[in-house]
Amino acid sequence: MKRIFLLIATNMAILLVASIVMSILGVNTSTMGGLLVFAAIFGFGGAFISLAISKWMAKKTMGCEVITTPRDNTERWLVDTVARQAEQAGIKMPEVAIYQSQEFNAFATGPSKNNSLVAVSSGLLYGMNHDEIEAVLAHEISHVANGDMVTLTLIQGVVNTFVIFAARVVAGIINNFVASNDEEGEGLGMFAYMGVVFVLDMLFGILASMIVAYFSRIREFRADEGGAKLAGKEKMIAALDRLRQGPETGAMPAQMSALGINGKKSMSELLMSHPPLEKRIAALRAR
């Protein structure tokens, strides 16, 4: 319930901010230019607000416990390893956190390279050896150093804008066609028009998800390569192989799963945010 509440509250905040911006700018959605501005405000606005609050959202959603003072040798080693890798990658020290989950997973998030969070599951921290964990951390540090959070936000903003704009343009064309064939020329009517927009949003949204997933898979390959450079190729391969043998993923909610090193499986690879682990291992071995 807490995760659902946070997601709803975030979306309501995005709608409120976007509506205020539209009101200030005096956007007229009855013109193509106004509609495009409307789509861009909601498309990019939602993406960038999500990025801005990504660390806070991740901590609340996953119940992350940020390590301020290490309580034992394991936590001290974890913080020291992240610090060393961050220095190697040329970024500021991220916040380091642990969240309670039996699955082997970790993620990195944050609005910029120098304002980030790296979190590992308790299952990964106490179920993998130091070499494997070091490689996982190197993978996440590479995500931060590559600016993947910002890049994916820009891509998400573009596809969001496309979905919002295209759905309303096509719905308008359908409405005009119906009106031209209607003796009274009234078109679809408000509720029918909104129904068409909703259906088109869903259909275009599936296409948009495939585009975002494609770029997400590319960034995973790049982060694996970065992890191999920071921790060593064999360690990175061993870590991915260990992830393949670990507990089934699924503890992360949908909005967080794309951030994890170990993504959720899907009926089609086109919708997967992560390449299959077998392909990632093969790509590293081929380097």
Catalytic residue ranges? 140
Sort 265 into a burial class: Cβ within 10 Å, 0-12 / 13-18 / 19+: exposed
Dihedral of the CA atoms 257, 261, 262, 265 (nearest 10)? 50
Spatial neighbors of 226 by CB under 8 A, at least 6 apart, are 89, 138, 139, 141, 142, 143, 145, 146
CA angle 178, 164, 218 (to 5 degrees): 135
Q: Whats the size of the chain, residue-wise?
A: 287
Q: What is each CA distance from 221 to 140, 149, 229, 284, in whole angstroms? A: 12, 15, 13, 8
Q: Are 138 and 240 in contact (CB under 8 A)?
A: no
Measured in whole angstroms, the distance separating CA 95 from the mean position of its chain's CA atoms is 18
**Enclosing H/E stretch for 112:** strand 106-112
Distance (Å, whole) CA 88 – CA 85: 5
DSSP-assigned states of every residue in 155-168: HHHHHHHHHHHHHH
